[in-house]
Structure 1
Amino acid sequence: MAISNRLKNQHLLWRAAFGPMAEMASDLDTMSQKKLWELLLSTSKKEPVKLNIASKAYDDYLNDMILMGGDTNKLTKDQRKALQDQSKDDLKLLNVTWMGEMINSEAQFREKMSLFWHGHFACRVIHIFNQQDLLHIIRANALGNFGELLRQVSKSPSMLQFLNNQQNKKQHPNENFAREVMELFTMGRGNYTETDIKEAARAFTGWSFDVKGNFIFREKQHDKGVKTILGKTGNFNGDDVINILLEQKQTATYITKKIYKYFVNDAVDDAKVDWLSKRFYTNGYDIKKLMEDIFTSDWFYDGKNIGTKIKSPIELLVGLRRLLPLQFQNDAAQLLFQRALGQVLFYPPNVAGWPGGKTWIDSSTLMLRLRIPQIITANETINIKPKGDDDTMMGQMMEEKIIKKQNKEYASKGGSAIVDWVMVVKIFEKVSKEELLKKISDTVLQTKSRINNDVLEKYLNKESRENYVKSSIINLMSTPEYQLC
């Protein structure tokens, strides 16, 4: 298949963003990749507005905690449960609100990079204040300096709590935080010793936070002794450890390789990663420059990199909603899809995040993926068991009665969606009838393989041009090829 200008532009939009939006889809035939890239950069320049979701109940809780000196032991068991339940509800709202940003925000590049970092700095804490603060750190620094992003994330109350650094004290060090910072956030497994972890844990002693969610350094809990970490010796603290990790070229290599797999191809080209990582290191961990090196290169648009990546559940759902402008009766219906497909924002399966790639697909999730376009546009119900991930479910495995309840909820108030088909049909208004199906296929699919047009024609509604476009898109989105970008 020849690589058309449209295909290259859609490739850039699927990787650096969440796919084409209906309003601009018709412009992709003529726009240059350079101009499109500049547009993605310019629309992501502004500082993001913090998504402040915490309800009044949590505001009241924070004020009470301040008055009680941060002593949560003064809360009753029922009070703690009520607050946790409220936090879960608020996290659902934060989830849906952020998805809305991914779908509708002009800052597509920033939101896509934020989704990547959300998985890289995986954190699962049921605390709405801390989680929305961590999300803001990620969104505000997603295109900036990796060192600054690493430092701010490491000092966030969510991450300090999730990785147990509250328990990391002088004479009783807890190694969990130091281990994950080295293994998952910077260098990768096998590039440090157990001694390095033990010594780094000593350096991180005293890193904590107060009831307001502010980072604090508890000096009395800090081990002031001499430590040796990755060949360097000194009276190091946590900031020193991060500096030492950033000095390691292996950190640049590890981050670059992970970014290459996420944005380019699961099959890593070691020579290109080596070139990219050296520039990333030399440029002082400038994230935007690294991504520019990738998205403006000729090799990024090679056929072997196009239509080869399995869309994550979030990419699938957001991309579908960008091309099909629609409104759910209840936006929370999207949470059912996330859960059933195995990617719930703010609930990564573990500290390593979502593994991605082929793990997104199994027999049950593939069948649901293929049905989603019909489910949304025909108001069907979800009648499939979500992935059995007890971690994601926070210890509450999906029993049949819960599934039935969710299906009923979806059918009654969540599943109905109104699609603005007028806007979608407008994309193809200048296309002749003879070329229409090919044009629709080229707009919806990124893969070399395509369903046979003669076969597809049998399932299309030919009563009107609008019905023809509508049935073509829904049928194409219901193919295995649409799962790839």
Structure 2
Amino acid sequence: MGISNQLKNQHLLWRAGFGPDTLPAEELPADSNKKLIKALFKASEKTPAYIDVADPAVKEIYMGMDEMYRQKRQLNEEQRKLIRDKSRDGIRALNITWLNQMVHSEQQLREKASLFWHGHFACRTVNIVHQQQLLDVIRRNALGKFPDLLREVSKSGAMLNFLNNNQNRKDRPNENFAREVMELFTMGRGNYTEDDIKEAARAFTGWGSNPAGEFLFRKGQHDTGRKKVLGKSGNFDGDDVLNILTEHPQTAQYITRKIYRYFVNETEQEDQVKWLADRFYKSGYDIAALLNDIFSSDWFYDQRNVGAIIKSPVLLIAGIRRAIPMQISNEEVQITLQRLLGQQLFYPPNVAGWPGGKSWIDSSSLMLRLRIPQMIYAEDTLTLKPKDDDDQMMGMKDKDDSKQKIKAFAQKRGGGQVIAATVNWDAYTKLFEKVSRENLLSSISGAVLQTSNSVTVNTLDKYVDASSRENYIKTATIQLMSTPEYQLC
């Protein structure tokens, strides 16, 4: 039995974006699926604007550092403190600004693909200038050609510093960058040898960046000798190695498999992955074409793939905000939620990024996920304290008086935050104005949940306020969003 047109279109909007926004109840069932796919790609065509939230004083320091180093001068304590404090503020602002793009931008597909690549090219740095540049590289190339994206990421100040390639010199090669490029960014473990890594590391010698994040090739530090990588020999440099990696069909297989697990299903169907990977490779790694192949395939809408993915914390938060129009006055509470739920933008757990899938859910994160809609509705207080993380705790963990500071920090950041959201309920209840009273619950349930086993009327009726039509719609929506089923898309 096929799925309804409405469920089909909602499936597409959850996977190719951050869920449906406020659409009248009768619209999604009527929309043509092919038209909707076309519209999603069309809306994401133009180059996104650069997100710049960095403090001008910090940017000025980074821009002038090269000159300072030439004059053998060091940053003074005041400048170091300014960079530390303002960079952390900047990364929080970058988080909120990008999250708002996910919620409000018409470029749903571009932002969703960017979130995928943000995890694929996982990078931790508290340098706001480098972090902004890397996000821009990812958002600009998210739907372009993978080799271009790979090259720009590999030459970004953020990634070169994070993976220690600034320390990669001839006679003293540092293998970290070469290893991650092969293991995590292109081929996947087991498809190259230790010798391939050693030789590739020699090719990447001399690649670095200046403090402003611009790529530098330090010719004097480059090993010009012959190298042998994946069976090919030559006087390779870093660009040559990236070409060798993308010319290898295994890279297309690895990237396709990862994209399939993210956009389709954690459990791959081998024949589908192989078909997609072959086409991806032949297209010169055209990411938009690969996604179009996925969303246009009949099997993408198979029952096994609908409601089969656990929403990541960022998708959950953005999805709720898209479904119910709201203004959040204390936007930083969303960062606390991200931390508590295990996915804080710009702070991946390690070089491999967030594992996703079932790892998103444990007993405490599930309880919090189920509470979020209620907290928005009742302006409830968030009293949980996120786990300590020195980057995010602003370097307070190793100070003598850190206990007091951490306590104050927790109170400020998550010790007692209310989700101060003003929901535009009028706009939301209006979506269901043409639905008869007896069909109201199934209509709301169909719009909110992506699972076919809809929550039964009897179960919900105990918790729903039926004193007026408006209250019924509001409370039924909140209750449905507070179910385990809502965690799936």
Q: TM class by shorter-chain length?
A: over 0.9
| Counterpart check, 1:455 vs 2:470 | no
Name 1:432's counterpart in structure 2: 436
Give the counterpart of 2:481 among 466, 477, 484.
Answer: 477
Note if contact 1:144-1:288 (Cα within 8 Å) is conserved in structure 2: yes
Is the Cα contact below 8 Å between 1:146 and 1:287 reproduced in 2? yes
Contact 1:53-1:94 within 8 A present in 2 as well: yes
Query: Paired residue for 2:107?
Result: 107
Counterparts of residues 403-422 of structure 1 (less than 5 Å): 403-408=410-415, 410-411=417-418, 415-422=419-426
CA gap of 1:63–1:173, structure 2 versus 1, over 3 A, is: closer
Q: Distance in 2 between matches of 1:231 and 1:108?
A: 41
* TM-score normalised over the length of structure 2: 0.95
CA distance in structure 2 between the aligned counterparts of 1:72 and 1:95, rounded to whole angstroms: 35
8 Å Cα contact 1:340/1:386 also seen in 2: yes
* 2:230 equivalent to 1:230: yes
What's 2:211 paired with?
211
* 3-state SS in 2 of match to 1:126: coil
Amino acid at match of 2:166: Q
Task: Report the 3-state secondary structure (helix = DSSP H, G, I; strand = E; otherwise coil) of the residue aligned with 2:422.
Answer: strand
Cα separation, 2, equivalents of 1:81 and 1:212: 18
Corresponding letter in the other structure for 1:178 = A
**Counterparts of 2:282 and 2:425 in 1: how far apart (Å)?**
48
Partner of 2:470: 466
Q: Does 1:3 align with 2:14?
A: no
Aligned to 2:400: none
In the other structure, the counterpart of 2:95 is 95
Mapping for residues 7-86 of structure 1, pairs under 5 Å: 7-23=7-23, 26-69=26-69, 74-86=74-86
SS of residue paired to 1:22: coil
Relative to structure 1, the CA distance from residue 383 to residue 72 in structure 2 (aligned partners, 3 Å threshold; closer, same or farther) is farther
For residues 181-220 of structure 1, what are the structure 2 equivalents within 5 Å? Answer: 181-220=181-220
CA distance in 2, matches of 1:395, 1:18: 33
Change beyond 3 A, Cα 1:386–1:62: closer
Distance, in Å, in 2 between the alignment partners of 1:212 and 1:393 is: 25
Tell me by how many angstroms 1:377 deviates.
Answer: 2.0
> What is the rounded CA distance, in whole Å, between the counterparts of 2:160 and 2:312 in structure 1?
27
TM, length-normalised to structure 1: 0.96
Distance verdict in 2 for CA 1:183–1:232, change over 3 Å: same
Q: Residue in 2 aligned with 1:258?
A: 258
Residue 335 of structure 2 is matched in structure 1 by 335
Give the residue type in structure 2 aligned to 1:110: R
Q: 1:80: Cα distance to partner?
A: 1.3
Structure 1: 5+ residue stretches without partners: none
CA contact 2:329–2:421 (8 Å) conserved in 1: yes
Structure 1 residues 387 and 31, CA, compared in 2 at 3 Å: closer, same or farther? farther
* Superposed CA offset, 1:76-103 (max 9, x none): 2343133111101001001000001000
Deviation (angstroms), 1:67: 4.0
State the Cα deviation string for residues 179-213 of structure 1 (Å, max 9, x = none): 00000000000000000000000000011112332
- The alpha-carbon distance between structure 1 residues 72 and 332, as it changes in their structure 2 partners (threshold 3 A), is farther
Q: What letter corresponds to residue 240 of structure 1 in structure 2?
A: D
Helix, strand or coil: the match of 1:337?
A: helix
Alpha-carbon distance change, 448 to 401 in structure 1, aligned in 2, over 3 angstroms: farther
CA distance in 1, matches of 2:430, 2:267: 38
1:237-316 to structure 2, matched below 5 A, reads 237-316=237-316
Shift of residue 393, structure 1, vs aligned partner: 6.0
Kindly provide the amino acid, as one letter, of the partner of residue 163 in structure 1: L
Letter matched to residue 475 of structure 2:
S
SS of equivalent residue, structure 2 residue 87: helix
- Give the aligned partner of residue 129 of structure 1: 129
Is 1:384 the equivalent of 2:384? Answer: yes
CA distance in 1, matches of 2:388, 2:54: 29
Which one-letter code corresponds to 2:480 in the other structure? L
Q: Secondary structure at the match of 2:442?
A: helix
Cα offset for 1:71?
A: 7.3
CA distance in 1 between partners of 2:416 and 2:461 (Å): 35
Query: What letter matches 1:410 in structure 2?
Result: Q
- TM-aligned CA deviation for residue 66 of structure 1: 4.5
SS in 1 for 2:466: coil
Q: Give the letter aligned to residue 144 of structure 1.
A: G
2-structure distance, mates of 1:184, 1:319:
28
Tell me, in whole angstroms, the C-alpha distance in 2 between the residues paired with 1:218 and 1:19: 46
Shift of 1:356: 0.2
Which residue type is aligned with residue 149 of structure 2?
Answer: L
Aligned equivalent of 2:450 = 446
Question: Letter of the aligned partner of 1:127 in structure 2?
Answer: N
* Contact 2:209/2:215, CA 8 A, preserved across alignment: yes
Counterpart Cα distance in 2 of 1:25 and 1:141 = 34
Residue 173 of structure 1 aligns to a residue whose secondary structure is: coil
Amino acid at match of 1:432: S
Q: What SS is found at the alignment partner of 1:435? A: helix
Distance 2:25 2:95 in 1: 27
Moved more, 458-467 or 92-101: 458-467
Q: Which structure 2 residue ranges, 5 or more long, are not aligned?
A: 398-402
Distance 2:466 2:316 in 1: 27
| Aligned amino acid, residue 336 of structure 1 | T
Distance 1:286 1:2 in 2: 30
Report the AA paired with residue 261 of structure 1: R
Q: CA deviation at 1:403?
A: 3.6
CA distance in 2, matches of 1:58, 1:72: 20
- The size of the alignment, in residue pairs, is 482
